[in-house]
Amino acid sequence: MEFFNDIVGGENPLKPSLFELIAQEQLRDLLQPALKYVLSVFAQRYPRYLLRIVNRHEEFYALIMLFVERHYLRQHNASFSENFYGLKRRRRPLFETERAKAAVGGIFPEENLRRREVWCSLLLLVGLPYIRAKAQDYFEDLGGGIDSDLIDDAGGRQIRALTEETWRGRWRRLYKKLYPWLNMGFEHWLLIYNVAYLFEKTPYYRPWLSWIGVDLRRLGIDDYRAESLAAQRSSATTPPKSPFDTLRHIFRNSPRFLLDSLKLLLPTTIFFIKFLEWWYSPSSPARSLTLSSSPLGPSIPPPALLRPHPQGLKLDGRKYGKCPICGEGIKNATALPSGYVFCYRCAYEEVEKSGRCPVTLLPARVWQLRKVLV
């Protein structure tokens, strides 16, 4: 996202806009449901290996993001989504020296994140979303957000009887009442900081950034120059002297290479998933090509209509759209198991009285009636 660096706004062109910050947060929030969807699809095929991971998805995702975010914070001074949008975290100085920095150039070593800032950022990037997700799951397990009319009276009385007397039941009822208000207050708190950041009343768009003493900046030309120099130094290492050194070099650098390549793999994977979603959609023009060349052959045609019984109701093929029983236009079209369509009232009365289709005289039941949506 280097094009954001060309946006000059206000006195400091490296200060990101609120829209960039919200965009990187949305990207971070979309990673977990996307990973959960992919795991759920593969778990249907390999339930023995992946079903437990899907059931403990929050813990699995938090563990993965702990390694990913730790790598990006240590190597790039930014989280994964922040680095993807061309942002970085900076230890905020006591006094802003933008003019002096512009005159001297380069990156001040004091701006790099220390061990304390890295672990505090990890706690807020991984721990806080995990706690909020578990709190939401617990609220839903208690029946939060579900209309009481959707639960039958017997089930509701049983739940109230189990949770009315014990201290655990009282805590559950209290949590169920307080959680929506606490969650709403938390969201309003974040909204207030967003508005204050938008009108430049605070340099932090999130309150916890001020607690750990960091703010977010756009990557400047000095940052890209430093990254290119670091890449040149890593590529200019002495060649390995033996195959053992080669394997050790590969195993040492492969995790770092994999984590750094996520910036490229993520948009490629999203494009590939959207392409497959379009390719296999019913309205896709490419679906006709796959059906014509499918090894399973063309699609199966619908079965032929059953012949009328000689003693059954006579049909006139010229009266299309007319009910064979009442002879009028079909109202609330309903199909019988034999495939013939009648008015719902006519079909219901006929099947309830005789227990068979009036045309084919085949057995039919009331619960076998199917409404036809035209």
pLDDT for residue 187: 93
Q: pLDDT class for 189, splitting at 50, 70, 90? A: very high
Q: What is the CATH number of the domain that holds 351?
A: 3.30.40.10
**Same domain membership, residue 150 and residue 22:** yes
Contacts of 28 (CB under 8 A, 6+ apart): 79, 80, 81, 125
Does some domain include residue 210?
Answer: yes
Does some domain include residue 97?
Answer: yes
Could you tell me the pTM of the whole model? 0.61
Does some domain include residue 267?
Answer: no
Q: pLDDT class for 191, splitting at 50, 70, 90? A: very high
Q: pLDDT class for 9, splitting at 50, 70, 90? A: very low
The residue among 180, 203, 234 that closes a domain is 234
Does some domain include residue 271?
Answer: no
Does some domain include residue 166?
Answer: yes
Which tens digits make up the pLDDT trace of 317-362?
A: 777 788 888 888 888 889 888 888 899 999 999 998 888 898 888 8
Element (H, E) at 216: strand 214-218
Which tens digits make up the pLDDT trace of 285-310?
A: 655 555 445 555 556 666 677 888 88
Q: Show the tokens assigned to 274.
A: 């959207």
**Same domain membership, residue 27 and residue 158:** yes
**Same domain membership, residue 124 and residue 21:** yes
Does some domain include residue 94?
Answer: yes
**Same domain membership, residue 100 and residue 230:** yes
pLDDT for residue 33: 81
**Same domain membership, residue 190 and residue 49:** yes
31-35, 76-80, 194-198, 243-247: which has the minimum mean pLDDT?
A: 243-247
Contact 352/365 with Cβ under 8 angstroms? no
Residue 87 has pLDDT above 80, yes or no: yes
Q: What is the mean pLDDT of the chain?
A: 77
**Same domain membership, residue 315 and residue 226:** no
Does some domain include residue 300?
Answer: no
The residue among 191, 215, 234 that closes a domain is 234
The DSSP code sequence of 104-133 is H-S--GGGS--HHHHHHHHIIIIIHHHHHH
Higher pLDDT, 228 or 14: 14
**Same domain membership, residue 207 and residue 311:** no
Q: pLDDT class for 371, splitting at 50, 70, 90? A: confident
Q: Where do runs of H (alpha helix) occur along the chain?
A: 18-45, 47-55, 57-76, 80-84, 98-104, 115-122, 128-141, 153-162, 167-198, 207-212, 221-235, 243-260, 262-279, 286-292, 344-354
Which tens digits make up the pLDDT trace of 48-60?
A: 888 888 888 889 8
Does some domain include residue 64?
Answer: yes
Share of the chain above pLDDT 90, in %: 12
- 166: containing domain: 2-234
Q: Show the tokens assigned to 16.
A: 């990101």
Q: In total, how many domains does the chain have? A: 2
What's the rounded mean pLDDT across residues 105-125?
83
